[in-house]
Amino acid sequence: MFKHFSAIVFLALFSFAYSQVSPGQCNDKDRKNVKAVKSFQAKKFADNGAPYYAIMANSPIFDCRVERYFATSSKNLLTVYEHKNLTTGVKVRGQGVVKVSHGSQLQGIELDYPKEPKRSVFKVIGVKYGEFAILYQCSNIDKAHRREFLYVLSRENYLSSKLVLEASDILDANGIDKDFPLPGIQQDLQACA
């Protein structure tokens, strides 16, 4: 029961902090350029559980989040995460399964948290192994609006100026740079502890 509740709390916090609702549909002209990377390598992405820090949010509220991925096969990963809400100080820990999708329309990851009816499917739109990854998701919420998630993961608790430029170029190539400007934020390791 507690694990189920934690997963619900985590998903609610994650959805609030990393999403935005905007006019339009996911298949509109302004989102047709959002493409997944051509050759996503799950084991290189996982890097034997090296931490990824969530360093970008679509919200002025920023919380601490660390994720670790472990390759269980060439197409499956185990994810272990810790999320701390800086406003309340509440920490949520959990794990899930990641399935890597390779197809003509999606090359990305599908997050499946136990006992949750809905899976999250993200396109991996950018990756520089050992440094950062950019995950994107779009879902239509009605005929006039879409909900978008952009999730930037970094191996460090910040993005260097050089990596901000590289990540910005990826967002620009996908036509979403104006909707998701990269702020100069970093996780405060002392506050996140």
Tokens of 151: 């999730």
What pLDDT was estimated at residue 7? 36
Residue 25 falls within a domain, yes or no? yes
Q: What are the φ and ψ backbone dihedral angles of 111, each rounded to 5 degrees?
A: -90, 130
| 155 lies in some domain | yes
The pair of structure tokens assigned to 152 is: 């930037």
Domain hosting 96: range is 2-180
87: number of CA atoms within 13 Å, CB side?
5
Residue 18 is which amino acid?
Answer: Y
What pLDDT score was predicted for residue 186?
65
Domain membership of residue 186 (yes or no) is no
Taking only the tens place, the pLDDT of each residue in 78-133 is 888 888 888 888 888 888 888 887 653 445 666 655 545 566 788 889 999 999 99
For residue 189, being part of any structural domain is answered with no
CB 53 within 8 Å of CB 68 = no
Using DSSP, state whether 123 is helix, strand or coil: strand
**Residue 91 is assigned to a structural domain of this protein:** yes
Question: Could you tell me how many residues make up the chain?
Answer: 193
23 is written with which tokens?
């006019």
Is 105 a domain residue? yes
Domain count across the chain:
1
**CATH number of the domain residue 176 falls in:** 2.40.128.20
Task: Establish if 193 belongs to a structural domain.
Answer: no
CA 56 to centroid of chain Cα atoms: 9
Q: What is the pLDDT along the chain (193 residues), one digit of tens a residue?
A: 434 333 333 333 333 334 577 788 888 888 888 888 888 888 899 999 999 988 765 544 456 888 999 998 878 888 888 888 888 888 888 888 888 876 534 456 666 555 455 667 888 899 999 999 998 888 888 889 888 888 888 998 877 888 888 988 999 999 888 777 776 556 777 778 7
